[in-house]
A and B are shown apart, each in its own frame.
Chain A
């Protein structure tokens, strides 16, 4: 009879050995960078769609209109005094915004202005002081104006305002889908990039072609999504036409906003 109690089960030798596997280091900064830039876009869209439209704020259509007008006037102006007036006004508006948004706007505008300074440095050294002062300060003001608009109004309301500017239905339809699908496709490809990063242990030579595979899959997925979306649209009876139903009434804040902006237009006429 076999004595089971005396028999030991031994572990195989290879399991007992110490393994010294150190994965070869590999450069994957481009995947990290891709992940970061995708995350940045997604956070920006999510952040701005998460906050509800503040009630006491100025009507979006005035803001869209005057922001465009301001950009045109800035571009036409040749007087540093006018640019300074506009910057002062924008900084004031910025100062009354929530801190996180304010820092974001300022950081973005300062970076754009610094970039302009670097580009124009050779011209300054060549004796062109006008461009060196005017262009970066105009860039600063323009970028700030656009950032204030895009971070204080919900994007869907900006797009619906474009309808008032007689943009064709098809363009508004496409714009609307684009923003929604940047989020959906972005999340989809973000997951693929995570997967690529997790599955690449040690040196992965085919990482580069995998990246184009991720992009290719994103395209195929987008095709699929577009067909599904059309079916969904049809089911819900959407014909691709947009109507603006919002009521148009002027409040006190609107009145002040218009007054300030008319003042800016006047200062443009005075200073040029």
Chain B
């Protein structure tokens, strides 16, 4: 799943790298809080562990072998934040010193394998573990978490590949980077992960976990119960999916401006007229017209607009929730 250089455009790499900066900052801060100084070397040794886990070949039906990534395993054993840092370091060593995965694509690889994989895998594991309080529930959480975690990472890699031909073409229309669209890249990446790699990952994770739990149960990370901050997750997800919005060439249904309205098809013919009230009506000039900021390329403008929009949503959400909190605390008094 390591994306090499030159398959993704430099701007995609930059966007994904920039997306990792807050993740790394949060992870660094959390690790400092969670991990006593005496356990700091654990990060490096955890990275060495995750590097070596990828060296273990596991037999597959049909005689071939495959290897696991161990992202969810690390998150379960060390906690998701430490796992994020350990995997980041592992990926850096692989890219810089072993030539495995690109230097420019490093941000993208980190996004898929050091962010999506451990955090999603761990959230699913905790979600199930916190609800089914038995050993079976825990095992189910491990299997589902590791299976879905690696598949989500593969899916994200596929989307990154798939948006290349749609966003980056030269003047003759030839794709500049990965030439396969989403319709090819998604099945090509996800099917092998759904039927082979995912199963390898789940089985290996479960076996190692059972072993460690039997031998030395005290070493496993004891995270606090998860608070669902799904809203942040959703917002983040949408920011990254916004470039997809560029792919739909038309304007969203019902969001036509008056000139577009004239060319709208009705029953096979263009409507050819502008409703009177609209023609002379109020024309709202927004701060970020058409989600693009003048002087910037369209994609950058689009993503910036998305980030600004998302930031605005979060601010609004926080303001409203603090107002509600204040109100309820006053009522309590």
Give chain A's interface residues, CB within 8 Å of chain B. 27, 29-31, 33-34, 37-38, 41, 44, 68, 71-72, 74-76, 78, 108, 112, 116, 120, 122-123, 128, 130-131, 134-135, 138-139, 142-143, 146-147, 150, 155, 158, 168, 170-171, 173-182, 184-186, 189, 208-209, 211-220, 222-223, 225-227, 229-230, 233, 240
- Docked Cα-Cα span, A233 to B93, in Å, equals 23
For residue B134, CB closer than 8 A to chain A, the reply is no
Residue among B52, B95, B216 facing the most chain A CB atoms (10 A cut-off): B52
Which stretch of B54-62, B147-155, B229-237, B293-301 is in the interface?
A: B54-62
B62 to chain A, nearest CB (A): 12
Residue among B44, B92, B177 facing the most chain A CB atoms (10 A cut-off): B44
For residue B41, CB closer than 8 A to chain A, the reply is yes
- Docked Cα-Cα span, A177 to B22, in Å, equals 24
- Chain B residues whose CB sits within 8 angstroms of the CB of A122 once the complex forms: 180
- Chain A residues whose CB sits within 8 angstroms of the CB of B42 once the complex forms: 222-223, 226
- Quick check: A30 and B177 within 8 Å, CB to CB? no
For residue B288, CB closer than 8 A to chain A, the reply is no
- Chain A residues whose CB sits within 8 angstroms of the CB of B44 once the complex forms: 173-178, 181, 226
- Chain A residues whose CB sits within 8 angstroms of the CB of B83 once the complex forms: none
Which stretch of B110-118, B207-215, B247-255, B276-284 is in the interface?
A: B207-215
- Chain B residues whose CB sits within 8 angstroms of the CB of A139 once the complex forms: 4-6
- Docked Cα-Cα span, A90 to B156, in Å, equals 33
State how many residues of chain B have any CB contact under 8 Å with chain A.
Answer: 63
A56 to chain B, nearest CB (A): 23
Known contacts A74-B6, A112-B4; is A131 also within 8 Å of B175 by CB?
yes
For residue B90, CB closer than 8 A to chain A, the reply is yes
- Quick check: B104 and A75 within 8 Å, CB to CB? yes
- Quick check: A208 and B59 within 8 Å, CB to CB? yes
Given contacts A78-B170, A131-B177, A177-B48, 10 further A-B contacts (CB under 8 A): A30-B57, A130-B175, A150-B99, A176-B44, A179-B97, A181-B45, A182-B48, A212-B211, A216-B208, A230-B39
For residue B47, CB closer than 8 A to chain A, the reply is yes
- Docked Cα-Cα span, A15 to B28, in Å, equals 67
Residue among B5, B37, B216 facing the most chain A CB atoms (10 A cut-off): B5
Known contacts A71-B103, A128-B174, A170-B28; is A220 also within 8 Å of B212 by CB?
yes
For residue B53, CB closer than 8 A to chain A, the reply is yes
For residue B176, CB closer than 8 A to chain A, the reply is yes
For residue B7, CB closer than 8 A to chain A, the reply is yes
- Docked Cα-Cα span, A135 to B168, in Å, equals 14
Closest 6 pairs between A and B when the two form their complex, measured CB to CB: A177-B44, A212-B207, A216-B211, A181-B48, A33-B57, A138-B6
Known contacts A123-B180, A215-B53; is A135 also within 8 Å of B6 by CB?
yes
- Docked Cα-Cα span, A182 to B59, in Å, equals 23
Write the chain A residue with the least CB distance to B54.
Answer: A37
- Chain A residues whose CB sits within 8 angstroms of the CB of B63 once the complex forms: 27, 29
- Quick check: A226 and B45 within 8 Å, CB to CB? yes
For residue B204, CB closer than 8 A to chain A, the reply is yes
Known contacts A29-B65, A142-B102, A212-B211; is A38 also within 8 Å of B219 by CB?
no
- Quick check: B208 and A30 within 8 Å, CB to CB? no
- Chain A residues whose CB sits within 8 angstroms of the CB of B53 once the complex forms: 215
A48 to chain B, nearest CB (A): 8
21 interchain pairs, CB-CB under 8 A: A30-B59, A33-B65, A34-B55, A123-B179, A135-B177, A155-B97, A158-B97, A168-B28, A170-B40, A171-B89, A173-B44, A174-B85, A178-B47, A181-B44, A186-B55, A209-B211, A212-B207, A212-B208, A215-B208, A223-B42, A227-B41
